Structure 1
Amino acid sequence: MICVSHSGSVPPVAADLRASAVVNVSGSNSLNLGSSGVYIDGVIFNSGTGGATSPAQINVGNGSNQTFALKNCSLRIATTSSAGRINIGSLDSCYSNLENTTMSFANAGQGIQIVGRVIWTNTPSALLGTMPTTLFFKGGNADAQTLEARGIDLSAAGSGKTIVGAGTGPTASYSFTDCKLNASVTLAATPSSQGAAEIDYVRSGSSGVNYNHGRYRYSGTLSEETTIVRTGGASDGTTPLAWKIITTANAFWTLPFETPPIAIWNDVSGSPVTATIQGIWGGGAVPNDDDIWVEAEYLGDASSPQASFVNDSKANILATGAGQSAGAGTWGGSTTKFALAVTFTPQQKGWVLLRVKAAKASSTFYIDPKVTLT
């Protein structure tokens, strides 16, 4: 389904494409797009027009195994009811690809719910109308919920607004890459349970910098840090950087907060190597190895790519935690330096992936994500 100029060529050519067709559904009636293998270009969909005050929704992919691609479109809730929703996907077998497709709302209680896999890309001024208090609702649907947002301008949602809500139900995964955000917006609420939601932001923010990143989990959050940094440590080439980890009261040794992997190339095979990561915190003494530790994933088998793992935490749940080693280097703040280190013998050259895990509840750690491999 494409929108073209009626006075253009017959059949239409690329120059005839427009983005001005409008489909209106009035009153409390919802607008349902249900089929598979559908491509729509240049259509504005309005639900709840005519001054409706009762719930009306837009449902994209209203059934199982439905695939939709929308380009240069707009999904608009016109009803003033707070129960108005834009629902993208209905079952985990749904797939929706939205390009340069905006969303519009008429009440702060409205928002977006996703089910299945949704890819949303290349959309300037993506949010129109009244900004929802929470943009993405996590519903109770038992099916998979995955959003991959790339190159989306969400900056219209500012102070008092939250991009991803806490929600309930099964795990939902949200990733925002190269997106424009408002400096005052809350990126995500703390997920309501360990399995509720996982939210990652990569190179997304409000200013002209390219190092913004964050991670939101039930057990804690991670954000970039540019003040409490280690001299000679990680950098984007211009700005020294560290990772700021803040654990919640839900962090435990069995359910720690886990950072994204830090990759470093290993050129040694058959001999021991040691990977070290530096950190600092305000705990007064070095943290114990059941408070924070590092896990290395490496190629420990010469005959297959199956990973081997090693960490510097305590050996098991019944063991007593011991202090980590003292750290080295000069930091721009906080008080107590520490080092996380693991020694292992790779059997193949290749990438080593290191993940820092923090389990001490309600604590703040600063990590230099620059690995020393010796």
Structure 2
Amino acid sequence: MPDIYVRSTDGAAGDDGSTWALAKDKIPAAPQAGPSATYVSSAHSQTSAAAVSIAMAGTIANPSKLVCATDTAAPPAAVAATAVVATTGANSISVQGSGYVQGIVFNCGDGFNYANLVLNSANSGTANAQRYDNCEFNLNDTHPSSLLVLGSGNSGDNTRTTLANCRIKLTSINHSVSLGGQVRINGGSMPGTSTPTLGLFNFINGYKLTEVLIENFDFSALSNSAILFIASSPGAQREGIAVFRNCKLPAGWVGSLVSASFDSPNLRVEMYNCDSGATNYRSWVETWAGSVKSETVIVKTGGASDGTTPKALKMAANTNANEPLCHLLSPLLAGWIDTPGAAKTVSVDIIHDSATPLTDAEVWLEVEYLGSSASPQGSRASSKRATLLTAAANVAASAATWTTTGLSAPSKQKLSVTFTPQMKGEFLARVVLAKAGKTIYVDPVAQVA
């Protein structure tokens, strides 16, 4: 099929769209699949007092292409980012099917009206992928229930939604962005957004595992009390993992990664290297069993450091943590074995605020290593007690020196595992905390002896 041209300033519904001079006045309801494209003039602006539905006819293998561009040549010589698709009142915008969209500004609703901006969430039972480059998504109404929806949470759908260098605006403090399927947001910002009081993002209520990566994004226009993720919603069926990485936070941020404790053991939210200033080591992980955060006050002397700032991990288990089933896990700590065939001991230092030592039923170290010389199949060693019926033993004391500011009864202990690797290579260690309501500090260095 030939390329289609769209320009509201002089286009007409009756024109065939074959040239700029014969442009359509509105984006087609079903943009054709590739290799041809639908080119939308940088001067284009369409506003509807009815719902707008765009059902791209493309597939993942042969996607539709909806491209805002300059209109001085055909095909265009340069892309742009100023074409507008808008609705007024309680009228939603929906974009479905597989396709690529460049430079479109979507303005959804106005006034105190309920209108959703929905991308890639059709209940089609098929696989759909959408990518948006340099677009804007503006929820312009103030109704508390309006949503920006990216992807589908339905068990029969398989969706992948990508936003690259896009801008998002939420007008009401009750708005949020609902995520489903696989979602990638790389770059972009939220200018003019009213900071939602419950949280910015959440998983769509459904029965589909959601996987989200938000990186290189600018949240600095939000208030310093912003909550990034809505973790709890009564009666909802939500599961998945969301990762925030290399993002800019509001100045003086005192908000939270999540809104509350999780209502599902299948939720996990992680944040790495996100801050408002020149700090590049901050981390925060929230799980069903508790949280793991970067720590720069209670640290081991001569322990982990980025070369300037000493660092530790603060692991805070909540009331869900228990030995048999629900564990709070540290990030993986990597090390290297150069001499296989000889016994090695891997150790990690911890400290906590109690005169009572922790036992091997409450905290332990797990190490995955190459235990076979014939294949890379891994083996696991653990300092945990052998069974639930084995008498718990105190974890060994440690002679390490720590800064203990704020601890009234600091107790230093060392977690150790001995094993015999059979192949030269990497090992992975992690600290496991299983005592409900307990907080420990971990030096994230796997010592090898």
- TM-score, normalising length: structure 2: 0.79
After superposition, what is the alpha-carbon deviation per residue over 1:19-55, rounded to whole angstroms, capped at 9, x for unaligned? 111101222121110111x111111111113x3x231
Paired residues for 1:132-147 under 5 Å: 132-133=196-197, 134-147=199-212
Distance 1:366 1:151 in 2: 29
Q: Which residue of 1 aligns with 2:429?
A: 354
Distance 2:260 2:195 in 1: 21
What is the identity, as a one-letter code, of the residue corresponding to 1:346?
P
Max radius of gyration: which structure?
Answer: 2
Is 1:21 matched up with 2:90?
Answer: no
Paired residues for 1:308-327 under 5 Å: 308-327=379-398
Q: For 2:361, which of 290, 301, 304 is the aligned residue?
A: 290
Q: Is the 8 A contact 1:27 1:48 kept in 2?
A: yes
Q: Which residue of 1 aligns with 2:221?
A: 156
User: 1:117 offset after TM fit, Å?
Assistant: 0.3
What is the identity, as a one-letter code, of the residue corresponding to 2:316?
I
Q: Is the 8 A contact 1:194 1:217 kept in 2?
A: no
Q: For 1:56, which of 100, 104, 115 is the aligned residue?
A: 115
Is 1:173 matched up with 2:241?
Answer: yes
After superposition, what is the alpha-carbon deviation per residue over 1:312-367, rounded to whole angstroms, capped at 9, x for unaligned? 11111222321000012210003110000000011111111001011111111010
Q: For 1:118, which of 169, 183, 196 is the aligned residue?
A: 183
Distance 2:128 2:387 in 1: 46
**Percent identity at matched positions?**
30
Distance 1:55 1:156 in 2: 25
User: 1:194 offset after TM fit, Å?
Assistant: 4.6
What is the identity, as a one-letter code, of the residue corresponding to 1:9?
A
What is the identity, as a one-letter code, of the residue corresponding to 1:239?
T
User: 1:127 offset after TM fit, Å?
Assistant: 4.7
Provide the secondary structure at the position in 2 that maps to 1:100: strand
User: 1:17 offset after TM fit, Å?
Assistant: 1.9
In structure 2, the CA distance between the partners of 1:202 and 1:336, relative to structure 1 (3 Å rule), is: same
What is the identity, as a one-letter code, of the residue corresponding to 1:39?
Y
Distance 2:210 2:447 in 1: 38
Q: Which residue of 2 aligns with 1:4?
A: 69
Distance 2:269 2:131 in 1: 24
Is 1:104 matched up with 2:169?
Answer: yes
What is the identity, as a one-letter code, of the residue corresponding to 1:126?
M
User: 1:260 offset after TM fit, Å?
Assistant: 1.1
Q: Is the 8 A contact 1:298 1:308 kept in 2?
A: yes
User: 1:193 offset after TM fit, Å?
Assistant: 3.5
**Structure 2: runs of 5 or more not aligned:** 1-65
Q: Which residue of 1 aligns with 2:134?
A: 72
Distance 1:25 1:301 in 2: 63
What is the identity, as a one-letter code, of the residue corresponding to 1:290?
A
User: 1:191 offset after TM fit, Å?
Assistant: 4.1
What is the identity, as a one-letter code, of the residue corresponding to 1:247?
A
What is the identity, as a one-letter code, of the residue corresponding to 2:103?
G
Q: Which residue of 1 aligns with 2:254?
A: 184
User: 1:86 offset after TM fit, Å?
Assistant: 0.6
What is the identity, as a one-letter code, of the residue corresponding to 2:361?
D
Q: Which residue of 1 aligns with 2:18?
A: none
User: 1:211 offset after TM fit, Å?
Assistant: 0.6
Provide the secondary structure at the position in 1 that maps to 2:109: strand
Q: For 2:443, which of 365, 368, 372 is the aligned residue?
A: 368
Q: For 1:81, which of 139, 143, 149 is the aligned residue?
A: 143
Distance 1:283 1:190 in 2: 27
Q: Which residue of 2 aligns with 1:130?
A: 194
User: 1:253 offset after TM fit, Å?
Assistant: 0.8
Is 1:306 matched up with 2:383?
Answer: no
Point out the more displaced range, 166-175 or 320-329: 166-175
**Highest relative contact order (Cα 8 Å, sep 6+), 1 or 2?**
1
What is the identity, as a one-letter code, of the residue corresponding to 2:368?
E
Distance 1:66 1:249 in 2: 40
RMSD: 1.5
Q: For 1:209, which of 279, 293, 298 is the aligned residue?
A: 279
Distance 2:360 2:183 in 1: 39
Distance 1:176 1:84 in 2: 24
Distance 1:84 1:229 in 2: 45
Q: Is the 8 A contact 1:300 1:347 kept in 2?
A: yes
Distance 1:190 1:271 in 2: 47
Q: Is the 8 A contact 2:345 2:418 kept in 1?
A: yes
- TM-score, normalising length: structure 1: 0.94
Q: Is the 8 A contact 2:238 2:264 kept in 1?
A: no
Q: Is the 8 A contact 1:194 1:219 kept in 2?
A: no
Point out the more displaced range, 158-167 or 277-286: 158-167
Distance 2:205 2:354 in 1: 39
Distance 1:199 1:286 in 2: 30
Point out the more displaced range, 188-197 or 253-262: 188-197
Provide the secondary structure at the position in 2 that maps to 1:54: coil
User: 1:9 offset after TM fit, Å?
Assistant: 2.9
User: 1:198 offset after TM fit, Å?
Assistant: 0.4
**Runs of 4+ that moved beyond 4 A:** none
Distance 2:430 2:384 in 1: 12
